[in-house]
A and B are shown apart, each in its own frame.
Chain A
């Protein structure tokens, strides 16, 4: 059974509810910012950087607040670290292929 005081836990959840609503507002605003930023007259490099930066902020908010990663057990963090390493390898792999000039035309 949980060793957390149920009264304290309820108070903590009530505080969290306010945070959830603030994060919802932030995500909605950032979605509009993403769309507006896509109309900026910039080359593809900065456009990708801007779009992915905003998406990363949005993704972090979802993961940290909605998925409770801001206060999770160590086992989850280790699991996600391993996942992130393999994910990065997946993302870097095609760059190497392109550098060798063997990409699909």
Chain B
């Protein structure tokens, strides 16, 4: 059975199905992270005292990680643009860089977590660290999810380019929408957890 609307747009939505599907998924993700941001507000406004994040967390390292993730967003969109221009070799390069950036982000995050544990700072230490580890941990899980999908599209999944180039380009676009969302969440996590 052939899957409908993988390339051509559905008449009612004006979109191919996977694109509408990923946006529905991202809407549910907004609510997931929204619930955690809401919890952060509740915990912080209700607390008698709140730790100074800048004294506990490593701001230069987190700033570097923000740059890495922003960089990965631009390499991701460049990989999609390369396919649109018919340059599969460039796609491989840009997607490879996206994967490297994601790995770099995870390494930096691991260094950060390791440093906290080394100083006996755990999620159970206080409410700030509990919400910090929950939110950054959930975000890191999303980065790992993106890494797996992007790794597949860079490696075995790229075979589709030869037979169905438009469908493959759409797959990369959908993976890109997810990846940009992961970047978007970090853009708000960074100041709220590290700088305020």
| Docked-complex contact A93 and B70, CB < 8 angstroms | no
Confirm or deny: B77 has a beta carbon within 8 angstroms of a beta carbon on chain A.
yes
- Given contacts A13-B84, A14-B85, A28-B70, A66 and B38 within 8 Å (CB-CB): no
Contact with A16, one of B46, B81, B177, B188 (Cβ below 8 angstroms): B81
| Docked-complex contact B191 and A17, CB < 8 angstroms | no
Alpha-carbon distance A16/B46, docked complex (angstroms): 46
Report whether over half of chain A's contact residues are helix, strand or loop; otherwise say mixed.
Answer: helix
CB within 8 Å of A: which of B46-79?
46-48, 54, 59, 63, 66-67, 70-71, 73-74, 76-78
CB within 8 Å of B: which of A53-94?
54-55, 58-59, 62-63, 66-67, 73-76, 79-80, 82-83, 86-87, 90-91, 93-94
Number of interface residues of A (CB under 8 A): 52
Confirm or deny: B27 has a beta carbon within 8 angstroms of a beta carbon on chain A.
yes
| Docked-complex contact A13 and B73, CB < 8 angstroms | no
Contact with A13, one of B13, B48, B81, B191 (Cβ below 8 angstroms): B81
Smallest beta-carbon distance A51→chain B, Å: 4
- Given contacts A1-B8, A2-B166, A38 and B27 within 8 Å (CB-CB): no
Which residues of the partner chain A approach B41 to less than 8 Å between Cβ atoms? 91, 94-95
Which residues of the partner chain B approach A13 to less than 8 Å between Cβ atoms? 81, 84-85
| Docked-complex contact B46 and A90, CB < 8 angstroms | no
Smallest beta-carbon distance A100→chain B, Å: 11
Q: List 29 A-B contacts (CB under 8 A).
A: A1-B8, A10-B84, A13-B81, A20-B78, A20-B81, A24-B73, A27-B73, A31-B70, A35-B63, A38-B196, A52-B188, A52-B192, A55-B187, A55-B188, A55-B191, A62-B187, A67-B181, A73-B15, A75-B12, A75-B13, A80-B23, A90-B37, A91-B38, A94-B39, A98-B45, A98-B46, A103-B45, A104-B43, A105-B47
